[in-house]
Amino acid sequence: MAQLGDYIIRRRDNHNDKYHRILEAAIQVFAEQGFFQATVSQIAARAGVADGTIYLYFKNKEDILVHFFSYKTKQVFDRFRQEVNKADTAVDKLRNLIRIHLEEFQRNKEMAVVYQAEIHQKSRLVEAQIREMAKMYFGIVTEIVEQGQIEGYVRKDLYVGLVKRFILGAVDEVINTWLHSEDQYDLALMADPLVELFFKGIGTSRINEIVLH
């Protein structure tokens, strides 16, 4: 079994183009058919390779999904970090993070469909990958929130863990709504309204006149 694993790794290293073609083809098929209904034959046909070629790179359909998530995690979060680092203030960093998040999912709708499906179904297949993605995302958001507290843009009495989930949950719901909407609209345009909502909330100046219980 170890020899087979070593052989698969060597094949991936020597044929990166075909390896990535299969990954991209698989995510398209998973998005269209659903993971459980998708077949290796459908993936091979979409990638333009023979069925047997799939097994030179992957053990099975489940292995393809796991490797796609691992590959995309690094790729996407490298872009997230680059965009966040371009800004100076916490407000602009969060704006850049939300914008690139929405742009990435809009650019690759198939990836968004599969990611949302796996996330909401709490898939055990990619549980580790999803947990790692959430950890990295929360890490970036924590940095931004803590910087915002230092800069005076974010209240210091807030529970940071709750703030992180508030932000990720809102972005996740915006993406999910976009995916299931019958109307076509620019998902990335939701970035600024989201950031404004995060920092200003939904209350008016009158909120200071009442006591919340």
Q: Phi, psi at residue 207, to the nearest 5°?
A: -60, -25
pLDDT digits (tens, 9 = 90+) for 151-160: 999 988 988 8
Average pLDDT over residues 178-183: 90
| pLDDT (mean) for 99-126 | 85
pLDDT digits (tens, 9 = 90+) for 34-79: 888 999 999 999 999 999 999 999 999 999 988 888 887 778 888 9
At the second CATH level, the architecture of 1-59 is Orthogonal Bundle (1.10)
The CA-atom distances, in angstroms, between 111 and each of 5, 6, 53 are 26, 28, 23
| Same fold: 1-59 with 62-209 | no
The Cα-based distances of 84 to 79, 106, 141, 176, 192 in angstroms read 9, 19, 10, 23, 15
Domain boundaries, the chain: 1-59, 62-209
* Of the candidates 44, 4, 2, 51, the residue with the CA atom closest to the CA atom of residue 24: 44
- For residues 190 and 175, what is the distance between their CA atoms, to the nearest angstrom? 9
Other Cβ atoms less than 10 A from the Cβ of 204: the count is 9
- Third-level CATH fold of 62-209: Tetracycline Repressor; domain 2 (1.10.357)
What pLDDT does residue 71 have?
81
Task: Enter the pTM of the model.
Answer: 0.82
